[in-house]
Structure 1
């Protein structure tokens, strides 16, 4: 496994300062991102650029999101230590590690077997493993473990998945990008059994969330 050197840590500190300038103000989120060696989650060809605010290709035709996007989505979640958090789309495992670093009980789902195996291995090696890591269909969520205090979706959903809403606890928050080629970021607060409050937070571009297809 790649080493986490003083050079890497210095570049992480620079990244954290950049994220502050871009408006990330949650100190817990900034601290969590500073703990996670992002270069370990990406191909060695991009290692020198790992702490720039850029997305990079990973396995199965997917991408690792910009650090700002990871920080912004996480900040919107307002994760408290010990909360049950459902992550839809483990991907490389970078966002997962950030949630674990925040002290959440993380339940994460990935539908691409190649990514599932990669992220599980990396997270175990760096000691940021989630509580449950599942190979499966994110659209279905994890009803057997519901309700969740927080739900984060890391792929662009064409519509709001109702099955995920059903698994959100009262008072819980979902952060999800919705749209096709480009998405808008939303937070959805569950007020009671039937009512939700939705807020919009600008445009983003994620890989699409896949529905009703065979697992990869």
Structure 2
């Protein structure tokens, strides 16, 4: 993920900044996965994130066309978008009264049903951040699951300042990974496409966060001590 390299180059410039963060306006010393969190509201480096939101917020007429299923197998081709939207909208309707941990479990399990497909196979480029419509059409990889979970929870009323997409290093698999972190009922939980279980971040020892982001802020994570 090329944006990580840009972050590492500018991280020294961020030390000492006092900008909005999770309910505070200061550096957090014991944040996600035990890291030191340095916040910033400067989102200029996150082109994939901002471009995903641009596409997501386009008027429906400018997105992929709505295609009704025709003769033959249903929900094939572009019709997958409409089928995915319909199922998603029904899920939202069914969970409007849900909240807390039960809601996080339901959203995580729902989105995790989609097959995992890496971006070079799916899109022909190394890294692509998909909107929910694009995810419904072509499935996706780790950040695509996390993005669709974020937007689903946003639709269900979870404040955006309680959610972050987290880019991290999976120390067990030795690869970059992405998850969604959500604050709920005094705990920060991790929604992960690798497992349906929703766990408190402190119970997950093999993830080393690099940065996290929502619609208003991003955080650089520094890990002083990491235990497998």
> If you compute each CA radius of gyration, which structure gives the higher value, 1 or 2?
2
Q: What TM-score do you get using the length of structure 1 for normalisation?
A: 0.29
* Richer in strand (by share): 1
Q: What TM-score do you get using the length of structure 2 for normalisation?
A: 0.28
Higher RCO (Cα < 8 Å, 6 or more apart):
2
